[in-house]
Amino acid sequence: AQKVTQAQTEISVVEKEDVTLDCVYETRDTTYYLFWYKQPPSGELVFLIRRNSFDEQNEISGRYSWNFQKSTSSFNFTITASQVVDSAVYFCALSEGNYGQNFVFGPGTRLSVLP
C-alpha cells in the first residue's frame, strides 16, 4: 500500500530564512508520481510540482527547489529566502501506476513565516 509521511507538523521561520519540508513515501510500484501542493487559508490546493519515478533530477523554480532521492524514498522541498506569503499548509502526495489518478496525500506541514 502507498503511504506518504510528512514528519514536520508545523514549522515557524522568520522571513528570509531558508526552510526545508520533508516528505518520505512508500510504494511497491516502479511507476509512480510525486507531487507537492500548497494550501493557503483560502482552502484551494495549488499545484507546485510533479515528479515521476524515472526522473531523479532535482529542480529549481525561483525560490523553490526539490530534491528527489529514490534511495531514501524522499522528495523534499526547500524554500529559499522565505516570505510571509509562503505561509500555508504544504502537502506531499503520491500516485501510482500509469494513470496515477488515485492520490495519497501526506498529513501536511503547516509553515508559518513571520515578518
Partner 1 sequence: KAGVTQTPRYLIKTRGQQVTLSCSPISGHRSVSWYQQTPGQGLQFLFEYFSETQRNKGNFPGRFSGRQFSNSRSEMNVSTLELGDSALYLCASSLDPGPGQSAKNIQYFGAGTRLSVL
**β-pair type (3-5, 24-26):** antiparallel
* Residue whose C-alpha cell is 513565516: 113
Among 53, 64, 104, 110, binds partner 1 (CB under 8 A): 104
- In the chain the first and final C-alpha atoms are separated, in Å, by 41
Q: Cα–Cα distances in Å, from 23 out to 18, 75, 84?
A: 17, 5, 22
Q: Based on the shown chain and the rule CB under 8 A, indicate whether residue 35 belongs to the binding site for partner 1.
A: yes
Which of residues 43, 61, 71, 115 is near partner 1 by CB under 8 A?
A: 43
87 lies in the binding site for partner 1 (CB under 8 A): no
91 binds partner 1 (CB under 8 A): yes
Considering the complex, state which of residue 83 and residue 102 has its C-beta at the smaller distance from partner 1. 102
Contact flag: residue 47 with partner 1 (CB under 8 A)? yes
Under DSSP, the state recorded for 81 is: S
